[in-house]
Amino acid sequence: MPLLYAEINKRILKDGTVEYYSVDKDKKNDLHKKIIFKSPYNTLIRRISTQEGVETYLIQCIIRIESNFKADAVSKAGAMGLMQIMQETSRFYNTKDPLDPEENLNAGIKHFKSLLNYFKNDIPLALAAYHAGLGRVKKSMKIPSIKSTIDYVSDIMRIYNGHSISKIGVKVKKLYKRIEKNGTIVIYDK
């Protein structure tokens, strides 16, 4: 059996719950360097993502796949602007001009942040919900088997982490803790 590398992280939720979770730690990722996106909107992206508490680089990865940093992009489905927000999302966040970069980023980043919160910071699930809609993802709590959504999440994760979803493998849904007689704490999945 090959040796696998993993990193166990801890986060404390607003209600005080302590969660431990694993992060795939492939040796190649240690060498991965972030892509530097050249865009006239980088300062604006950084300001708004920082305000909303979302990692700037993740937002840049989303924008790269959504619109390739074209503020006037409109999809066949009607998604608009840098973050390709739909009309319903635009209305929900009181966006007057969804093609205005600042308004679009405000709505798109707030929307993505709400999805991150809903899925407890599970980035692939939040991305899938951003692409396919919250209802489709929360129904099964996994990335729906829609080719365009799988490709979307995979493309963003490849840029963000340096690998695609297919290389991540099965996600650990829950970790368990066992304390051995000698006091050793063992964290495992079932």
Known catalytic residues are 66
User: Cα separation of 173 and 148, whole Å?
Assistant: 24
Q: Measuring CA to CA, which residue among 5, 10, 21, 6 is closest to residue 175?
A: 21
User: Cα separation of 22 and 168, whole Å?
Assistant: 11
**159: how many CB neighbours lie within 10 A of its CB?**
19
Contacts of 68 (CB under 8 A, 6+ apart): none
What number of CA atoms fall less than 13 Å from residue 18's CA on the CB side?
5
